[in-house]
Amino acid sequence: MSSTFTYQFDTATYKGFSTLNTGLFIDGEFVDPVEKGTIDVVNPANGKFITQISAGTHLDIEIAVQAAKKAYKEHWGLKVSGDERAKLLHKLADLVEANADELGALEALNNGKTYHFARNIDVTACTKILRYYAGWADKIHGKTIQTKDDKLAYTRHEPIGVVGAIIPWNFPLVMLVCKIAPALATGNTIVLKPSELTPLSALRFCPLINEAGFPPGVVNVVNGFGHTVGQAIAENMTIGQVTFTGSTATGRKIMEAAAKSNLKPVSLELGGKSPSIFFDDVDVDQAVKWAALGVLQVTVHDSYCAYTDRLGSYNHGQVCFAGSRIYVHEKIYDEFINKFAEHARSLKLGDPFEPTTYQGPQVSQGQYDCIMGYIESGKQEGATLCTGGDRFGDEGYFINPTIFTDCKPHMKIVKEEIFGPVATVMKFSTEEEVIELANDTSYGLAGSVFTPNIDRALRVAHQLEAGTAWVNCLNTSEMGMPFGGFKQSGIGRELGEYALEHYTNVKAVHVNLGMRL
């Protein structure tokens, strides 16, 4: 039998024990993996062991896929009406909300983001996403095509069947919900792999699936490594579609494996190196706060609490749409740099469960080492380290907020995704120049422009080669707005009606109403 993990939490809003099963969730039950493998889970705030979870292989993926296939044919898919799927998704949202304190605590423990952030932003976003797609479940419509009187022609949007999902470690719970909500709303079953670094909230989420009333096998969660479980999902001949969020390099491998197997379609939300552009007519104090919010801060100051229902997550720089390339007009550059550095130095790092903490640790030793490698590269290539660039504290994977100036377009810290609290700041003089600089990247996930001149703001926003353009704001999101990238930032979209397109097949039906030969 699979084992359990019990941990005591003591926060301002939640005191108690959390117990979760650490096995694989297949066909509505927690089970042991075929080959009995395990993975150690570590607390990034202190680098200490938390627990072990079961590690699956391709054998477990095949078992999960067969359970999902059986559930699709017998208990789900076209056998369940849209309004019934909606009721179950709403019930799941209610359960997530009822367990928000515990889910937030597990997320903070496992990922390192602050408890305040995980509880009040991430978990809240999950409930909204579930309810948003519950609203779509009975609105998956085709079209009637005008023909002649003796023929009827129409389209149907049918579920694909079994969907495979692979999610990252930076937003474990949010990304889980972003994948399962549209998949279930459209009538699919799903086999999902959480990150091996951050599996705890997904494991706690699994019993809520049963409690909400979903039939066994509709949702299956298989822990494991990317090169085993992730690869098996991409290669599986029964899975009809794969959705992945993560690095561009891994996205290439998934796309290749999908093509070599059953040519299954893929949706990929990949890396980014987003530009943030500040013109000379901005309020510099506000510009500094937005710039910091884009790449350095883990959460928002209390004065922003009224807006947390529509602000995105910043995760101490570990976010794909981080505004890490900052372009500042030469007229305000010096003032901006001075205030930006001062603001960065004021951010409090520390225990994610401490209410006044703004920035937690990086997720793992590997991620810490990667970021520090980029910082060293910036120094070696001639960028000026304005502030930060060093370790914070004696334990855990903390990095002080880091700002580089005197950066050049060819530098590694400017061209590559760092995925940490590291900002590169560059000077520009003209609108045409900054547009060219902003688009000089292989990525195209997001970008932002700040100026009270709305004509210029929209002109620049429309020329950014990115899937999202923010105007006089940054990292905001809406459930109904799509999110995804241009160029090497991915294929397809998350959120909104656009996400539903990845989870259905369109069938054209031609009906003879009187044609005779």
CB 179 within 8 A of CB 243: yes
- Catalytic (active site) residue 407: no
**Across 240-372, where does the E strand assignment appear?**
241-245, 266-269, 275-278, 325-329
Residues in the chain: 517
- Long-range pairs of 391-395 with CB within 8 A, sequence gap ≥ 24: 392/349, 393/349, 393/350, 395/45, 395/46, 395/47
Looking at 320, 407, 465, 494, which residue is catalytic? 320
Read off the pTM: 0.94
The contacts of residue 516 (CB under 8 Å, 6+ apart) are none
Q: pLDDT value at position 314?
A: 56
Q: pLDDT value at position 1?
A: 52
Secondary structure class of 388 (helix, strand, coil): coil
User: Nearest to residue 223, comparing CAs of 109, 66, 68, 53?
Assistant: 53
Q: pLDDT value at position 399?
A: 97
Angle at 400 between CA 394 and CA 403, to 5 degrees: 155
Q: pLDDT value at position 4?
A: 86
Query: What count of other Cβ atoms lies within 10 Å of the Cβ of residue 139?
Result: 11
Q: pLDDT value at position 297?
A: 62
Looking at 102, 196, 269, 417, which residue is catalytic? 269
pLDDT tens by residue, the chain, 517 residues = 568 888 887 777 667 777 899 999 999 999 999 999 999 999 999 999 999 999 999 999 999 999 999 999 999 999 999 999 999 999 999 999 999 999 999 999 999 999 988 999 999 999 999 999 999 999 999 999 988 899 999 999 999 999 999 999 999 999 999 999 999 999 999 999 999 999 999 999 999 999 999 999 999 999 999 999 999 999 999 999 999 999 999 999 999 999 999 999 999 999 999 999 999 999 999 999 999 998 986 444 333 343 343 333 357 889 999 999 999 999 999 999 999 999 999 999 999 998 888 899 999 999 999 999 999 999 999 999 999 999 999 999 999 999 999 999 999 999 999 999 999 999 999 999 999 999 999 999 999 999 999 999 999 999 999 999 999 998 888 999 999 999 999 999 999 999 999 999 999 999 999 888 8
User: Edge to edge, what strands does the sheet with 29-31 contain?
Assistant: 29-31, 24-26, 219-221, 189-193, 162-166, 241-245, 266-269, 490-491
Main-chain dihedrals φ then ψ at residue 496, nearest 5 degrees: 65, 180
- Catalytic (active site) residue 269: yes
In 140-212, which ranges are continuous DSSP H helix?
A: 172-185, 200-212
